[in-house]
Chains A and B, each alone.
Chain A
């Protein structure tokens, strides 16, 4: 399998405070990688740099072999990078089906809705089991339904890489399971998941990257990371102690 995403020596600081201090990361086609780390480790910043919401001060981001670090977000999206946001209300006053159709229509004609986009939108609503609520404005959906929609919007353009920022945050146990199953069922898309819930990470990720103070502390399979004493000390140990 070839490399889909390569991040080299990425630096980002806010007001002189380094948030990322030289991060390297490589992701193969179809690989599922979780990014964990304590609060302030730079996880969301890393997603924002890859998605284009932020620009790095130094370093490279290569997607399918192309340097994309200077591209605006919409160009990265067209090129195959989808993302979800930690807090997103999608397009609140539009109906669920209009949300999905608009997401599927991106990149098609400005004047006519593509039949293909309509099919894709319907297919996704079915996949998310939200077909019955298609006519409701998004503002009237539950938190769990909105998280599912958030993933559906990101999937509409059939991305090759999906950036997920805490997809299960704030969900009830049953809803978390639903979102996990949905993500497990995806094929042919690489996942980069920022997630706090270790159970979700175990189910979804092939491998884990641990960020700490803006650097990669460790990288490896789920078992390797859980056995890593350094990781236990700064992150897992603390998390276990809390519970």
Chain B
């Protein structure tokens, strides 16, 4: 019963999210307007999944990486290029996308996790830059910064065929994949393995002296989190049917860092909230004052650093803890 009560807010939020397409239709936004809002929400879900993968690495294991976009971008290219040039079926394309991001995460991880302290950030940023420049250099193939488009009309689940051109079905796909990933990561963070990641964040030499193979653990979390970034990339490729070298840039990873910090690192829910909030603000500003968004972002970050270093979720938890004390 208690467990149910604890989970009630999450279940209600999930139910609401699942019926948003119907709700939008009800309030009289069926046509183009409704589709627009739905697609904005879908983008939030895709980027939220990317931020979620980042939180495992940064929020739990304390690894400040600027290379997370590599595995996001590799998965996107894996899907688009394999179906574009080799005629892979949607499932084959998804498989190759996931595989290439997994292998990429292993290769980058082997090098990066050995570098201690701030060196890790620099190494991941530099590798990210190199991969980006390689994608730009191969413009004829990758489309460079202009990107390439691909057409994957539908995804066949056997009993069910999802039309990727239908915004509602794309939305449900994104929501489903995000929720599955969230459940998997929530489970993982509650295992002794998840706790071991927190030990590394809190005090790596102490964890090692207790018998935790910290180097191996850092590699494992780098690969797991890189693979979830890859899953976000698969989703991006299916929904947007587009790939671009810009998606490999370190600035894309920096966005995930900002969303995670604003929402609350090490909470999993926080990065989702941070992503939704900042994506919404980005949209609001984009329309009438595009230069305003970076300014606002700076202000928000300053506010978080000064007033809520644990992010939005951390602040809410502190409030609740205080209320319970009274």
Contact = CB atoms under 8 A, between A and B. Distances in A.
Interface of A: 51, 53, 72-75, 77-78, 82-83, 85, 88-94, 98, 101-103, 105-113, 153-154, 156-157
Contacts of A90: 202-203, 206
A69 B59 CA distance: 34
B13 to A, nearest CB: 27
Interface stretch (B211-219, B231-239, B242-250): B211-219
A110 B203 contact: no
A94 B196 CA distance: 12
Interface stretch (B82-90, B187-195, B271-279): B187-195
A78 B211 contact: yes
A88 B212 contact: no
Interface residues of B, number: 20
B195 A102 contact: yes
B195 A105 contact: yes
B170 to A, nearest CB: 34
Contacts of B215: 72
B55 interface: no
A111 B212 contact: no
B203 A51 contact: no
Contacts of A105: 192, 195
B186 to A, nearest CB: 14
Contacts of A109: 192
A107 B208 CA distance: 12
B205 interface: yes
B203 A89 contact: yes
B192 A91 contact: no
A111 B210 contact: no
B196 A77 contact: no
B205 A108 contact: no
Given A109-B192, A111-B192, A102 B199 contact: yes
Say what secondary structure dominates the interface of chain B: helix
Contact of B196 (A53, A75, A93, A102): A102
Given A88-B203, A94-B202, A110 B196 contact: yes
Contact of B210 (A89, A92, A112, A157): A157
16 contacts: A51-B209, A74-B213, A77-B211, A89-B203, A90-B203, A91-B198, A91-B199, A91-B206, A91-B207, A101-B195, A105-B192, A106-B210, A110-B191, A111-B192, A112-B191, A154-B209
Contact of B192 (A77, A78, A112, A153): A112
Given A92-B202, A103-B210, A154-B210, 10 more contacts: A73-B209, A78-B211, A83-B209, A89-B203, A91-B198, A91-B202, A91-B207, A102-B199, A110-B191, A154-B209
Contacts of B195: 98, 101-102, 105
A37 B295 CA distance: 58
Given A102-B195, A105-B195, A108-B192, A157 B211 contact: yes
B208 A72 contact: yes
Best-buried of B198, B206, B208, B212 by chain A (most CB within 10 Å) = B206
B202 A53 contact: no
Contacts of A107: 211
Contacts of B213: 72, 74-75
A88 B202 CA distance: 11
Nearest to B195: A102
- Which one of B193, B203, B211 has the greatest number of beta carbons of chain A within 10 Å? B211
A155 B214 CA distance: 20
A83 B193 CA distance: 22
B119 to A, nearest CB: 19
B180 to A, nearest CB: 19
A66 B211 CA distance: 18
Contacts of A94: 198-199, 202
Contacts of B199: 91, 94, 102
Contacts of B193: 110-111
A90 B209 CA distance: 11
A154 B214 CA distance: 17
A53 B208 CA distance: 9
Contacts of B214: 74
B202 A77 contact: no
Interface in B166-196: 191-193, 195-196
Contact of A110 (B192, B198, B209, B210): B192
Contact of B209 (A77, A112, A113): A77
B258 to A, nearest CB: 22
Contacts of A112: 191-192
A120 to B, nearest CB: 13
Determine which residue in A78, A88, A103, A153 has the highest number of CB atoms from chain B within 10 A of its CB, and name it: A103
Contacts of B209: 51, 53, 73-74, 77, 82-83, 85, 154
B202 A74 contact: no
Contacts of B196: 102, 110
A88 B214 CA distance: 17
